[in-house]
Amino acid sequence: MLSLALLACLIFILLSGRATVAQPVLAAHRASGSPSRSLRTLAADRGLFIGAAVAVKPLQEEPAYGATLAREFNMLTPENVMKFSLIHPGRDRYNFAPADTLMAFARTHAMQVRGHTLVWHRQIPNWLKSAAADDFPTLLQNHITTVVGHYRGQIAAWDVVNEAIADDTSLRNSLWLQTMGANYIDLAFRWAHAADPSARLYYNDYSAEDMGAKADAVYALVQGLLQRNVPIHGVGLQMHVSLDWFPNPSEVAANVRRLVNLGLAVDITELDVRLQEPALASDRVLQGRVYRQLVAACLEGGGCQATALWGFTDRHSWVPAFFPGWGSALIFDQDYRPKPAYYSLQGLFTQKSS
C-alpha cells in the first residue's frame, strides 16, 4: 500500500513538473536514520541479538550516537573501558565508572552486554608489566574475580581470553604465557565462572573465521578446554575484514558448524568491513553484500545467535587510526545515516528463515 501511495505521489510530482524536489524527498526518506523497522526489532523477532562496540565519550557528547544505538541494537560491547589497563589502572585501584555508564545505558534500553575482555596481551597497565612473575596468578585471579564479580548477573557473555593464538598458530608469547605458562587460559575461565556462574564464557580471536590454520588452532584449543572440563561456552569470531579480503562464506559456515558440533555457541563479535578512502558508492554497495554474506554464513553454520559490529557509525571507528587510507567500515555513515550495509542486514533479518 505504502509503495503504491509513494508511486502515485511520484507520478503527481513528475506531472506537475516538480521532479527536482522528488529526489531529495526520497533521499531524505532513505537517509532519515529512522527506517520503519529497526535492526534490533527485526533481529529480536528471530530470537537474535545484534550488537555494537560502544565508546563512552560520544555516548555522553552526541545525542545521535545514543539515539541510534538504542534504536538499532539490543546488545552492546564496551569497546575499551573494560580492558585491563582502563578498568584496573593501579595495583589496588579499579576504575569502574566508565564501564558502569555503559551498563546503565544498556539497562535503560534493554540491551544485553558482552564483557570485553579479561585476558589480552594488549592494554596491560604498566604496574602489571613491572610485577614479579610469581605474583601473576594471584594478580590475574584477583582481577578476574573483582571485575566479573562487580558485574555479576549483568553480563550475558564475557570474552574471557582474547587473541591467545599468534598468527603462526602457536600460543602467543604474551606476558601471560611467559609468567603463568599455557595453563593461564584454563585458570582464567575457571576464575571467571566462579565469579559469575550465569555468564557465558567465550574465547575470542581474529583471522580464525575460515577453515585456515589459525581456525584449526582455535578449534584445537577450545576442544582441549572442553576435554579438561574448563567452563567455556562459546567462540567469538572477530571478523575485521576488508572489501579486498574477507573469508570465504562457505568456509565460515563450515568452521562455525564444526565448533557448534563441539557444543559451543559461535558468534561474530567484532564485524567491520573496511573500504579504501575515499569510499566509492559502488564499494559501499559491495560492502553491504559482504556484511550480509558473512552473517548469513554464520547463521547457516548454526551460530550467530548474537552478532556484534565493532562500532556502528563511521564517525567513530578504530579503522582509520590503525589502517591509514582505510575507513567507512560500518553500517551508518559519519552523519548517522544508514548505508547500504544497513539495508543488507535489514534484508537478511527480514528474509524468511529456511
Residues noted as catalytic: 163, 270
* H or E segment to which residue 230 belongs: none
Q: Which three cell numbers stand for residue 101?
A: 555508564
Binding pattern for the stretch 295-334 against ligand G3I, x by CB under 6 A and - elsewhere: -----------------------x----------------
* CB of 91 vs ligand G3I, minimal distance in Å: 21
Q: Which three cell numbers stand for residue 87?
A: 578498568
φ and ψ at 202, to 5 degrees?
Answer: -120, 150
Q: Which three cell numbers stand for residue 105?
A: 545505558
**Which lies closer to ligand G3I via its Cβ, residue 304 or residue 348?**
304
Listed residue (268, 273, 331) closest to 305, CA to CA? 268
Residues of this chain, 121-150, that bind ligand G3I according to CB under 6 A: 122-123
Binding pattern for the stretch 222-251 against ligand G3I, x by CB under 6 A and - elsewhere: ----------------x-------------
How many residues interact with ligand G3I (rule CB under 6 A)? Answer: 8
φ and ψ at 207, to 5 degrees?
Answer: 55, 25
Q: How far apart (Å, rounded) are the C-alpha atoms in residues 73 and 14?
A: 38
Residues 6+ apart with CB under 8 A from 219: 255, 258, 259, 262
Question: Residue with C-alpha cell 513528475?
Answer: 14
> Looking at residue 33, what DSSP letter applies?
S
Q: Closest residue to ligand G3I, Cβ-based?
A: 318
**Which lies closer to ligand G3I via its Cβ, residue 270 or residue 333?**
270
Q: How far apart (Å, rounded) are the C-alpha atoms in residues 164 and 89?
A: 22
* Local structure of 313: helix, strand or coil: strand
Residues of this chain, 38-67, that bind ligand G3I according to CB under 6 A: none
**Which lies closer to ligand G3I via its Cβ, residue 38 or residue 317?**
317
Listed residue (54, 97, 101) closest to 75, CA to CA? 54
**Which lies closer to ligand G3I via its Cβ, residue 107 or residue 122?**
122
* CB of 335 vs ligand G3I, minimal distance in Å: 20
85 binds ligand G3I (CB under 6 A): no
One of 79, 196, 267, 314 touching ligand G3I (CB under 6 A):
79
* CB of 269 vs ligand G3I, minimal distance in Å: 8
270 binds ligand G3I (CB under 6 A): yes
- The contact set with ligand G3I (CB under 6 A) reads 79-80, 122-123, 162, 238, 270, 318
